[in-house]
Amino acid sequence: MDNRARLAGLVAAVGLCTAADLFACGDKFLVAGRGTRYQRPKNARAAAVLIYADPTSGLPAALKSVPVESMLKRQGHRSTTAETLEQLSALVTGGRYDVILAASGVAAAIERLLTGVSEPPVVVAFCIKPSGQDLREAAPTTPCTVKAPPKERSLLEAIDKAVERHDRIARKTQARG
């Protein structure tokens, strides 16, 4: 009987010592932030995005590291690219866009272009640092919304906020008219 009590005590002691290791097996999956992905809010909607990739603005070079068009398509957005101001003007007047992605240096020119458009798209400006001679010629520009090169999450959040803003403005103009 005495041997059985000792054996039971030994098994209990070994079980208690190894129990912490046994319970810790699943803890590695509960570490905050590990393995999580950007998830859009439930009220987010797909947007029509116009990318103004003027070669002189530096935006195409800044976006080379990020596959913006495929990322937008994966999230359900439709994207179109314009390389000149004339193409941009024709696309804006001919279609309905929610968001325009552009460099901060050309955002003011785009805002002027959108003055006569009913329900104008919201401009999301990328912070692109000019280099060399462009730095001396750079004038004060529109405030930046997204740093370039953008991270996927920050770009998608900026687009979702711009779509919300566009919808708010559209509701206000419809209520007035």
Higher pLDDT among residues 66 and 97, named by residue? 97
Structure token pair of residue 90: 């024709």
Question: Is the pLDDT reported for residue 134 higher than 70?
Answer: no
Tokens of 146: 């997204």
Residue found by looking up tokens 């991270």 in the block:
151
Quick: pLDDT tens for 139-176.
Answer: 445 678 787 777 888 888 899 999 999 989 888 888 88
Dist CA 134 CA 136 (whole Å): 5
As a whole number of angstroms, the distance between CA 50 and CA 83 comes to 11
Domains of the chain, start order: 48-176 (3.40.50.2300)
What tens digit of pLDDT does each residue of 64-83 get?
878 888 888 988 899 999 99
